[in-house]
Structure 1
Amino acid sequence: MNNDIEKILFNQEQLNKRMDELAQQLDKKYKDQQPIVIPVMNGAMIFAADMVKRLDFKLTVDPIKASSYAGTSSTGKVTVTQDIKSDVKGRPVLFMEDIIDTGRTLKYLSDLMKKRGAKSVETCCMLDKPETRVVDFHADYFGFTAPNAFLVGYGLDYNGLYRNLLYIGVLKKEVYSK
Structure 2
Amino acid sequence: MIKIKDLFFAPFITEAQLLSRVNELGAEINEDYRGKSPVLVAVLNGSFMFMSDICKAIDLPIGITFVKIASYSGTQSTGKVRSLLGLECDLSGKDVIIIEDIVDTGKSMAYLLDLLERENPRSVEIASLLLKPTALQENLRIRYLGFEIPDLFVVGYGLDYSGQGRNLRALYQKTEIQSFNHKKN
CA contact (8 A) 1:31 1:56 kept: no
Q: Does 1:165 align with 2:168?
A: yes
RMSD between aligned residues: 1.6
Larger helix fraction of residues = 1
Q: Does 1:126 align with 2:129?
A: yes
Counting matched residue pairs gives 175
Q: How does 1:47-66 map to 2 (within 5 A)?
A: 47-66=50-69
What is the alpha-carbon distance in structure 1 between the residues aligned to residue 141 and residue 176 of structure 2? 28
CA contact (8 A) 1:91 1:118 kept: yes
Give % identity: 34
Q: Does 1:99 align with 2:102?
A: yes
Report the equivalent of 1:23.
26
CA contact (8 A) 2:104 2:131 kept: yes
DSSP 3-state at the match of 1:8? strand
What is the alpha-carbon distance in structure 1 between the residues aligned to residue 165 and residue 125 of structure 2? 28
Unaligned runs of 5+ in 1: none
Report the equivalent of 1:79.
82
Instruction: Select the residue among 11, 14, 17 that pairs with 1:11.
Output: 14
DSSP 3-state at the match of 1:62? strand
What is the alpha-carbon distance in structure 2 between the residues aligned to residue 173 and residue 142 of structure 1? 28
CA contact (8 A) 1:46 1:155 kept: yes
CA contact (8 A) 1:93 1:121 kept: yes
Higher Rg of the two aligned structures: 2
What is the alpha-carbon distance in structure 1 between the residues aligned to residue 173 and residue 77 of structure 2? 18
Report the equivalent of 2:183.
none
CA drift at 1:174: 7.1
What is the alpha-carbon distance in structure 1 between the residues aligned to residue 160 and residue 122 of structure 2? 32
CA drift at 1:117: 0.3
CA contact (8 A) 1:9 1:170 kept: yes
Report the equivalent of 2:117.
114
What is the alpha-carbon distance in structure 1 between the residues aligned to residue 75 and residue 17 of structure 2? 26
TM-score relative to the length of structure 2: 0.89
What is the alpha-carbon distance in structure 2 between the residues aligned to residue 76 and residue 3 of structure 1? 27
CA contact (8 A) 2:23 2:57 kept: yes
Question: Structure 1 stretch 53-62 or stretch 106-115: which is displaced more?
Answer: 106-115
Q: Does 1:145 align with 2:148?
A: yes
CA contact (8 A) 2:2 2:10 kept: no
CA drift at 1:172: 2.9
What is the alpha-carbon distance in structure 1 between the residues aligned to residue 98 and residue 84 of structure 2? 16
CA contact (8 A) 1:65 1:80 kept: yes
Distance 1:18 1:96, change over 3 A: same
